[in-house]
A and B are shown apart, each in its own frame.
Chain A
Amino acid sequence: MAKDVKPTRKNLMAIEDRIELSERGHDTLEKKRDGLIMEFMDILDQAQDVRSDLNENYDEAQRKINMARAMEGDVAVRGAAAALQEHPELTTESKNIMGVVVPQIESSKVRKSLDERGYGVLGTSARIDEAAEAYEELLETIILAAEVETAMKKMLDEIETTKRRVNALEFKLLPELKSNQEYIEQKLEEQEREEIFRMKKIKAKKEEEEKAEREAAEQEAEEAETVTADD
């Protein structure tokens, strides 16, 4: 706090430098925060679209698999599910949005043709094919949602950190530095006033002494004059 700093001109200059630097940093961080929020808004729109697609696809996939279950029986559906040979694979690349690294997920083997699925065509029905297709579509949307939502999470983290830094500068560091600056300025002013007062006192004292000396000298001269007149 303000009482910890020594009120010297050197300290005042150092504090003024720090205030300037902090203010510049504050402005830059504020701009970064606003930029991040703008980017985030774009992603949010995208995320909301993906979310509604996701829910739609999920409902559709559920409807289709329930239909398959009802027509073929649970065992047949599970049997077909256990027979799958090809598995979807993901590869992740990264993209940089204002210093935040967000993933870009590439997928392969999500959509498969009938013969790639692995369960026999003869033993199963079109209902199962439809359900498998619906779930493949759902997986594609899930991958898209994962990409967008990871980007959102990372950007939100960055926004939070930046916001905290901006607030720390604005409400903690800068007020403290400014109060230190004010404290030193007031102290220095007080010292200056004391110095002036001291000088004035010394001057007055000196003038008094000089006056007394002058009077004494005058008196002496007068006395000398009267002595010579008497003679």
Chain B
Amino acid sequence: MSQEIAVIGSPDFTTGFRLAGVRKFADVPDDDKAAELDDAVQGMLTDEEVGILVMHEDDLEHLSRGVRNDVETSVEPVLVTLGGEGAGSGGLREQIKRAIGIDLMEED
């Protein structure tokens, strides 16, 4: 089955991806993020046609705890975050610390 890339974020963030042909996107203006981002993310998580979900690292802060956990641990679709401090998508760094026992990304 062929899948697509989806983008969620402020209109400024999504425009560029749409320019590259991304069809599935959710524009959530900065002011409405606290209220609408959860629903937008949940909608994309349940969409079977979405294979990769692209978000800005800072936007994860606006998500409620449950949704954030869902999206960070989700494998299909997988979350790829941009921006932020560059320590890997979502809770990957935390997960590495928990599974291996050492913070392997410290050198970054």
- Chains A and B are bound partners: yes
Contact with A132, one of B11, B20, B83, B95 (Cβ below 8 angstroms)? B20
Tell me the minimal C-beta distance from B84 to chain A in angstroms: 9
Contact with A150, one of B11, B23, B78 (Cβ below 8 angstroms)? B78
* Interface 9-mer from A1-9, A87-95, A188-196, A216-224: A87-95
Nearest residue (CB) in A for B104 is A44
Q: A54-B82, A142-B54 are in contact. Are A153 and B20 (CB under 8 A)?
A: no
Q: A37-B100, A90-B4, A156-B95 are in contact. Are A65 and B73 (CB under 8 A)?
A: no
Residue of A143, A149, A159 ringed by the most chain B CB atoms within 10 A: A149
A81 within 8 A of B: yes
Q: A65-B16, A146-B80, A149-B89 are in contact. Are A156 and B99 (CB under 8 A)?
A: yes
* Residues 81-102 of A contacting B (Cβ, < 8 Å): 81-82, 84, 86-92
Alpha-carbon separation in the docked complex, A155 to B2 (Å): 24
Tell me the minimal C-beta distance from B74 to chain A in angstroms: 9
Contact B99 A87 (CB under 8 A): no
Contact B21 A110 (CB under 8 A): yes
B96 within 8 A of A: yes
Tell me the minimal C-beta distance from A85 to chain B in angstroms: 8
Task: Please name all residues of chain A whose beta carbon is closer than 8 Å to the beta carbon of B18 when the two chains form the complex.
Answer: 81-82, 84
Please count how many residues in chain B sit with their CB below 8 Å of the partner chain's CB atoms.
Answer: 36
Task: Please name all residues of chain B whose beta carbon is closer than 8 Å to the beta carbon of A134 when the two chains form the complex.
Answer: 16
Alpha-carbon separation in the docked complex, A149 to B22 (Å): 21
Q: A37-B100, A81-B18, A86-B21 are in contact. Are A154 and B86 (CB under 8 A)?
A: no
Tell me the minimal C-beta distance from A205 to chain B in angstroms: 66
Alpha-carbon separation in the docked complex, A142 to B17 (Å): 11
Tell me the minimal C-beta distance from B21 to chain A in angstroms: 5
A-contacting residues of B (Cβ < 8 Å)? 1-5, 11, 15-23, 51-52, 54, 73, 75, 78, 80, 82-83, 86, 88-89, 92, 95-96, 98-100, 104-105, 108
New contact pairs (5) apart from A91-B3, A142-B54, CB-CB < 8 Å:
A51-B88, A61-B16, A84-B21, A86-B21, A135-B20
Can you report 27 A-B residue pairs in the complex whose CB atoms are below 8 A from each other?
A54-B82, A58-B82, A81-B15, A84-B18, A84-B19, A84-B20, A87-B23, A88-B5, A89-B3, A90-B3, A90-B5, A135-B16, A135-B20, A139-B20, A139-B22, A142-B5, A142-B52, A142-B80, A143-B52, A146-B80, A149-B92, A150-B75, A152-B92, A153-B73, A154-B75, A156-B92, A156-B100
